Chain A
Amino acid sequence: MHIVVCVKQVPDTKIIKINPKTNTLDRRSAPAILNPYDAHAVQEAVKIRNKTGGTISVLSMGPPQAVAVIKKSVEIGADLGYLISDRAFAGADTLATSYALSKALEKISKDNPIDLVICGKHAIDGDTGQVGPGIARRLDIPPITNVIEVSEVNKEEKYVHIKRKQIDGYEVIQSQLPCLLTVEKEINDIEYAPLTNMINAARYEPVIWSVNDLEDVDKTQLGLKGSPTIVGKMFSPPKLEGGKRIEGSTDSQVEQLMGILMERKDLLKIKTANS
């Protein structure tokens, strides 16, 4: 079983600041981290490999310092790592990114055919969720998004059973292998990695490919040139205002709260488990 996980280095958007003049992210204000959804993708690959055996490769595109997220993936339990890094890839939107990654995946699969590709649901800096399905389309394999459980992997008969998150529940599907999954955070908990993983990661040096290391590449489809996306306007969403605070004695607080609840019955509607 050969599983490839696509990972991205992103600024930690929990603490990043937005430049108020240009409305762009001030990337210096936040440390670069492994995209949290991708961490869950790697963890899921580890869970599958521990059952089926095989190899986990991780693939990333980015500047040389993106090696850090590959090492982080090795900490979680990946075996091999590839970084495609070249000025030719810079400025890519989701279309150009999925093209570049699919070319790298083709090269990886030449040495060791790929059975399964896993991506995070989306990157926390772009939030588009387009690169995973884009890769699947280019590799001509089924994309399965919003995965919350991989219930069965059968590598002999080449199929998987998957639970997909839906607004009012979940969907169970069977898919052929190879296929591509994009995973939600609830698919697993990131485990505290064994010490040997930490030591392996500290020592690990990923394979780094430039554009010339990839084969059959149409350079007009890469980077800024290959990106038809035009950013029309950027704005910061209005800051959330704090909720109303109920004060006073306990009795009066209860009374006020009951008043609000009687008036706003919609607040009492019970939400379904997966909505």
Chain B
Amino acid sequence: MSEKFDVIVVGAGPAGTSCAYNCAKNGLKVLLIERGEYPGSKNVMGGVLYRKQMEDIIPEFWKEAPLERPVVEQRFWMMDKESVVQFGYKGLEWAAEPYNNFTVLRAQFDQWFAQKAVEQGALLINETVVTECIVENGKVIGVRTDRPDGEAYADVVVLADGVNSLLSKQLGFHREFRPDEVALTVMEVINLPKDKINDRFNLEGNHGTTIEIFGDSTKGNLGTAFLYTNKESLNIGVGTTLSSMIKAKLKPYELLDYLKKHPMVRPYLEGGESAEYLAHLIPEGGFNSVPRVAGNGVLVVGDAAQLVNAIHREGSNMAMASGQMAAEAIVEAKKDDDFSENSLNRYKEALFGSFIIKDLEKYKDAAHTFETYPQYFKEYLPMMNKAMSKFFTVDGTPKREKQKEIMRSVTAEKGTFKVMQDIYRAWKAVK
């Protein structure tokens, strides 16, 4: 006979596991279903885990979680073909408790996090694909899996099934996402001895660095690349919106190859051994792509709800926070024994009142602006590199004249009005 649970969570990534953890902690009977061989086996991210939202779920997690390095330095590169303008911040306050963020390898971290949910009493099953929600009288009452006798029932089904969320699509919560709403990211884990990493990135002990790379890293297309330090490996990756890739006829692996061979990047990777190659879609549609997140007996969390802030490379933290909010709504719904959309909308209210939706709303036009007006990545970043080169090259020209010349060359190429317009547009998109 098929079993009935209080909650079935589909997907053991950060969102699903966070939800399962918090539901189980509150005494609910939870089934957590993962399609991969183990949690994390199918998940991909650049590798930055933010402390705050993880700490809200498991205080002082850094004492036991499999983390790579606490990040003490964040660098930003505006890269051209043979040059780079960089800025960043390094602070040792990030090297001590409570830390700011960490690099992690998802295959290890997700397993650990899911184990924590199991310790709270959630039942985790792997290698099982949920093929559809079971709907009765307009209410989701369970899930059907690809296994024999594969039905299980619950008061609430939480969909944490990732970026494409076929399950919420089946329910009609969202349409097929457009190519400009998703980014394709490819990355490699490159093994490198610890002392080499510390030398090359100017690091001590277990301190870590993250570098976000704009401009030529995506051949001027809308997107970013990253280079992060793990204990004994580097994560290097690049992603652009699917639409940019199609328009520019880019192949993702060619782009990663181009980045790895780039003269500004190459020296960091020298002698490293490629250990893993990963690729994944990232939901980057932002505020305008957020689907319906609550229905009768069903909630949508994490990537499945398109909760990613591409500008600030935040996603896993939003996933965890959304999972926690969903759990809180379910616990309340259980008290009233009311799992209708109306009751579960507590989750939607919490979500929209939180930093998650507020941040997504702030940047709701950013991606669109930068994709529609490619000059920012294609023209201004190279210009910035040329300007810096000119300014810092000592050739006997007085500095004031250099400044004037730089301004002249910028406006001469595009016209003063056009430049002002571009600056205003960019400011409006991110203000």
Contacts and interface: CB of A to CB of B under 8 A. Distances in A.
A200 to B, nearest CB: 10
A195 B151 CA distance: 7
Interface string A189-231: 0001111101101110000000000000000000000000000
B198 interface: no
Contacts of B146: 192
A195 B123 contact: no
A198 B3 contact: no
A199 B31 CA distance: 8
Interface string B20-56: 0000000000010000000000000000000000000
Contacts of B149: 194-196
Interface string B149-164: 1111000000000000
Nearest to B37: A31
A19 B147 CA distance: 40
Contact of B152 (A193, A199, A201): A199
Contacts of B100: none
Interface range, A side: 10 to 19
Nearest to B123: A202
A202 B124 contact: yes
A148 to B, nearest CB: 25
Nearest to B149: A194
A198 B2 CA distance: 12
A203 B123 contact: yes
Contacts of B396: none
A46 to B, nearest CB: 13
A192 B147 CA distance: 7
B64 to A, nearest CB: 16
Nearest to A197: B147
Given A199-B125, A202-B124, A193 B147 contact: yes
Which of A193, A198, A199, A202 counts the most chain B CB atoms within 10 A?
Answer: A198
A195 B128 contact: yes
B206 interface: no
B123 A199 contact: yes
5 contacts: A195-B145, A198-B147, A199-B123, A201-B125, A202-B123
Interface of B: 2-3, 31, 118, 123-125, 128, 145-152
